[in-house]
Amino acid sequence: MNTIKLYTEHLSKFVNERDMSSIHKELIEAKRTLLDGSGLGSDFLGWVDLPNNVSAEELENIKKDVKTLSGKAKIFVVIGIGGSYLGARAVIEALQSEFSPFENNSEHPYIVYAGHTLSEDYYYQLLQLLDKSDYAVAVISKSGTTTEPAVAFRIIKSHMEQKYGKEEAARRTIAITDARRGALHDIAIQSGYHIYVIPDNVGGRFSVLTPVGLLPIAMAGYDIEKLLRGAQDMRKVCVDKDSYEENPAMLYAALRNILYRKGRKVEILANFVPHLKYISEWWKQLYGESEGKDGKGIMPHSLSFTTDLHSMGQYVQDGERLMFETVLSVAKPQHEVSIPKDEQNLDGINYLLGKTLTEINHNAELGTIMAHYDGNVPVLRIEVPSVDEYVLGQLIYFFEFACGISGYTLKVNPFDQPGVEAYKKNMFRLLGKPGYESK
């Protein structure tokens, strides 16, 4: 298969054979725990088989909604936060042109996001855009009670109803939520929205292959069946294989736990193409929320190179040695751009003539990896053959599976997030929410 690969040559002075073989037993045990559902958080393991469990009926419904709403909306607002937002954005931004907002020839609506911020100016500006554009909405919340998307939806629902009237606004609204519970579920039933269900046994940050991710990704014009095929193929490898050579998730989980035990408490996910910025954001949530608990866990951080080599590059090269780096490397671009010839060569870059930009970028990447390794940063490289739906499906499943076994190896519950409640309680008390008054 056209598959992602892990390269470990810039780890050799930090990780040895003995480290690898001694942690292997722990990983096998963690994997067994994950697959037989005997570990902490086992009510939330629905994502493991998800790539094979999306029904033809669900895919058909998504296609129908995409067709209907693409016909009448230029903008599609995706309302959600955390796991109900980042997966869709990661895939869409990896695939779409950086300049899509300036292109208006697409058959599909342009996706904008809401519910991930409480910034007043953001909503003012969004409403200005929605005033002058035809739009539709997906409001996504598993609990159906999260404050940020609830606030955003109330503002946008009111705008839609004024713009289109209640009935047409309802036809332009999709709710993705719990099958039975939550305020969003109740609003959706009462208003007659088309509802997609988030399975009970799939937690937010593992839900990108449910309608949470699939509907917005399809609405943006991308092939969700191809995405699922990538995830299915990676699932087979992750579930069936145990060796480091055959199962990249085992290898990744092993390396990060070994490095963590040797004092590397921060993992930097570095990319060399800006399209992958939101893959990093999704990855940070996946690992940060799954592993950062009980006083433990690698802190996930991300950088976009070469941009950040001119800022944070200094710290990585020369600062505290608390990190390791995982470089997300893209082998092949979708398009070619060549460097034009200039006889005068005043900029001194004629030595690059005949090279593609990707060749130059790959040399920047290799140069960076070598420099960071020399500066005592362990560097792991994940190579993706290209950025398309099939490969992104693989990458998503690979990171999810590795996260599950890595979390169990760390001996935490990778599927809960008790820590995110603390800010909510304070915010509710400060805002005077009934039931949260100060004692």
Summarize as ranges the residues that interact with ligand PA5 (CB under 6 A).
Answer: 81-84, 141-143, 146, 149, 203-205, 289, 417
Three-state secondary-structure class, residue 324: strand
- Work out how close the CB of 264 gets to ligand PA5 at its nearest, in angstroms, rounded to a whole number: 25
Q: Tell me if 367 sits within 8 A of 374, measured CB to CB.
A: no
- Work out how close the CB of 174 gets to ligand PA5 at its nearest, in angstroms, rounded to a whole number: 15
Which residue of the set 63, 262, 424, 425 is catalytic?
Answer: 424
- Work out how close the CB of 198 gets to ligand PA5 at its nearest, in angstroms, rounded to a whole number: 7
Q: Which of 118, 167, 138, 122 lies closest to 75, judged by CA?
A: 138
Q: Smaller CB distance to ligand PA5: residue 255 or 269?
A: 269
218's CB contacts (< 8 A; 6+ apart) are 62, 63, 66, 224
Question: Strand 75-79's sheet: what is its strand order?
Answer: 110-114, 75-79, 135-141, 173-177, 194-197
Is 437 assigned a catalytic role?
no
- Work out how close the CB of 213 gets to ligand PA5 at its nearest, in angstroms, rounded to a whole number: 12
Query: Residue 325 is inside which H or E element, if any?
Result: strand 323-332
- Work out how close the CB of 398 gets to ligand PA5 at its nearest, in angstroms, rounded to a whole number: 18
Which residue carries 């958080």 as its tokens?
41
Q: Smaller CB distance to ligand PA5: residue 384 or 396?
A: 396
Q: Tell me if 114 sits within 8 A of 126, measured CB to CB.
A: yes
Which residue of the set 281, 289, 365, 389 is catalytic?
Answer: 289
Q: Tell me if 403 sits within 8 A of 348, measured CB to CB.
A: no
What ranges in 73-146 are assigned the alpha helix state H?
Answer: 86-95, 120-132
Q: Tell me if 276 sits within 8 A of 94, measured CB to CB.
A: yes
Q: Residue 72, Cβ neighbours under 10 Å: how many?
A: 14
Q: Which of 400, 394, 369 lies closest to 94, judged by CA?
A: 394
Which residue of the set 13, 25, 132, 310 is catalytic?
Answer: 310
Q: Smaller CB distance to ligand PA5: residue 207 or 358?
A: 207
**Amino acid identity, position 305:** F
Three-state secondary-structure class, residue 38: coil
Is 289 assigned a catalytic role?
yes
Could you give the CA distance from residue 363 to residue 227 in angstroms, rounded to a whole number?
A: 30
- Work out how close the CB of 85 gets to ligand PA5 at its nearest, in angstroms, rounded to a whole number: 8
Q: Smaller CB distance to ligand PA5: residue 83 or 300?
A: 83
Cα atoms in the 13 Å half-sphere on the side-chain side of 192: 7
Q: Smaller CB distance to ligand PA5: residue 149 or 213?
A: 149
Is 31 assigned a catalytic role?
no
Tell me phi and psi for residue 378, to 5 degrees: -65, 135
Q: Which residue is nearest to ligand PA5 (CB)?
A: 204
Q: Smaller CB distance to ligand PA5: residue 31 or 205?
A: 205
Looking at residue 285, the DSSP 8-state letter turns out to be H
- Work out how close the CB of 346 gets to ligand PA5 at its nearest, in angstroms, rounded to a whole number: 51
Could you give the CA distance from residue 48 to residue 34 in angstroms, rounded to a whole number?
A: 9
Query: Which residues belong to the active site?
Result: 289, 310, 424
